[in-house]
């Protein structure tokens, strides 16, 4: 075996000993596992209006976009989706990407110029972390949700351009960032605020417009919002929302936009249909909040350490990586899919089960799944 392959095999062995091996599982259409692992919070991935819109666009355009957005990949479906997203989020403009990951990389890079300081929350998603790294800017990582630490980092760099980078609902523990206070701190120092609304869009805020809107920051000229279409909208893709000048800059210069194939038109059309359903889904959001509260109540009553969720993400602390993997596997063997987060995917070296609430799961199945999680607990 070649030396480089031997090194990879050795690294794989070390990961296995540490309980950090990952495994692909291929889901079949008739999979009957209760889903508390995916991010389809509002149950819209299989909504009939969404499927019908995607099918119609599939018939009209075919399978793929056939090119980047600037070549042949932009369709009327993409344009309509961007217009409706901007109206929903209360921003001047929106640009749709093929993934939320690329949207975050593009947004961070676009907001970075010489001498920029990026002030990044310690619990930020990997895409934000990678965006900060790729930008080449100086990065100050501040303790989680610590406004005073953010203020101190900004005060220590007077006169420099700066961007405060945060999620709204954090992807690991599901807690809500103090967005209004972060924005006030950023504005006092002339900094921008970049909010990744991936887990809040469709879940909180007026008509589900997300965490920035819930904090009263919609349309503020010093606020940029990113999000995915793959969670509450049940589709795929990402977005950057903000001033029209920013979107123009991204179209002209953003490498993760210019050189990437556009999302398939059927996906864009399906996401647009999901958006229309989501805007009028206050009942689904209320059910989501009720179920998240039920998770916390039931699991804490069983003696488990559980986060306090602001949306549909609830984390449950596990004793360690190997235990978390075994716990998740036992749940799956009993028909319940849960997320399993281990270092280095967690910001504090703690292993967790991550549960995501999907209101499309029948309530009886949801309640049974909580019983299984408790019964399989280490």
Q: What is the pTM of this model?
A: 0.95
Q: 183-210 pLDDT, tens per residue? A: 999 999 999 999 999 999 999 999 999 9
C-alpha–C-alpha distance, residues 303 and 309, integer Å: 17
What are the C-alpha distances in Å from 20 to residues 322, 325, 339, 340? 8, 9, 14, 10
Note whether 171 and 129 are within 8 A (CB). Answer: no
Please tell me the predicted confidence (pLDDT) of residue 195: 98
User: Percentage of residues in the chain with pLDDT exceeding 90?
Assistant: 91
Domains of the chain: 19-42+282-375 (3.90.1150.10), 48-279 (3.40.640.10)
- In angstroms, rounded to a whole number, what is the distance separating the alpha carbons of residues 348 and 63? 42
Interval 107-123 mean pLDDT? 97
pLDDT of residue 190: 97
- Banded pLDDT at 349 (limits 50, 70, 90): confident
pLDDT of residue 87: 98
Condensed to tens digits (0 to 9), the pLDDT of residues 131-185 reads: 999 999 999 999 999 999 999 999 999 999 999 999 999 998 999 999 999 999 9
Q: How many helices (H) and strands (E) does the chain have?
A: 14, 11
Q: Is the pLDDT of residue 36 over 90?
A: yes
* Tens digits of residue pLDDT in 297-328: 999 999 999 999 999 999 999 999 999 999 99
Bridging pattern class, strands 336-341 and 352-356: antiparallel
Tell me the per-residue pLDDT of 223-275, one tens digit each, with 9 for 90 and over: 999 999 999 999 999 999 999 999 999 999 999 999 999 999 999 999 999 99
Q: Is 241 helix (H, G, I), strand (E, B) or coil?
A: strand
Contact 340, 324 (CB under 8 A): yes
Give the strands of the sheet with 336-341, arranged side by side: 34-36, 336-341, 352-356, 313-317
Residue 1 has pLDDT above 80, yes or no: no
Q: Is 363 left (phi over 0), alpha (psi -120 to 50) or beta?
A: alpha
Mean pLDDT of the chain: 96
């Amino acid at each position: 075996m070649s030396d480089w392959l031997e090194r990879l095999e050795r690294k794989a062995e070390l990961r296995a000993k540490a309980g950090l091996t990952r495994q692909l599982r291929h889901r079949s259409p008739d999979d009957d596992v209760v889903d508390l692992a995916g991010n389809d919070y509002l149950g819209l991935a299989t909504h009939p209006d969404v499927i019908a819109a995607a099918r119609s666009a599939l018939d009209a355009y075919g399978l793929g976009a056939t090119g980047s957005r600037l070549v042949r990949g932009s369709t009327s479906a993409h344009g309509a989706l961007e217009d409706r997203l901007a109206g929903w989020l209360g921003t001047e403009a929106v640009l749709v990407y093929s993934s939320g990951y690329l949207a975050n990389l593009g947004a961070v890079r676009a907001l970075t110029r010489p001498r920029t300081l990026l002030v990044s929350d310690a619990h930020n998603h990997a895409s934000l972390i990678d965006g900060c790294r790729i930008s080449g800017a100086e990065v100050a990582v501040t303790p989680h949700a610590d406004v005073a630490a953010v203020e101190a980092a900004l005060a220590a760099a007077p006169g420099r351009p700066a961007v405060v980078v945060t999620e709204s609902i954090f992807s690991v523990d599901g807690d809500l960032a103090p967005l209004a206070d972060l924005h006030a701190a950023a504005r006092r120092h002339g900094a921008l605020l970049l909010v990744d609304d991936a887990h809040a869009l469709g879940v909180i805020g007026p008509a589900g417009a997300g965490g920035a809107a819930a904090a009263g920051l919609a349309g503020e000229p010093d606020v940029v919002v990113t999000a995915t279409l793959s969670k509450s909208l049940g589709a795929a893709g990402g977005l950057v929302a903000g001033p029209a000048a920013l979107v123009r800059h991204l179209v002209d210069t953003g490498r993760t936009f210019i050189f990437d194939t556009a999302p398939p038109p059927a996906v864009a059309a399906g996401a647009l249909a999901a958006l229309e359903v989501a805007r009028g889904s206050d009942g689904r959001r209320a059910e989501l909040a009720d179920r998240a509260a039920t998770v916390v109540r039931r699991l804490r009553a069983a003696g488990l350490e559980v986060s306090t969720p602001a949306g549909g993400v609830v984390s449950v602390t596990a004793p360690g990586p190997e235990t978390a993997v075994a716990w998740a596997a036992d749940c799956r063997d009993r028909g319940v899919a849960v997320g399993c987060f281990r270092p280095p995917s967690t910001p504090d070296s703690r292993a967790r089960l991550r549960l995501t609430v999907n209101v499309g799961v029948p309530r009886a199945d949801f309640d049974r799944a909580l019983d299984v999680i408790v019964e399989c607990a280490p």
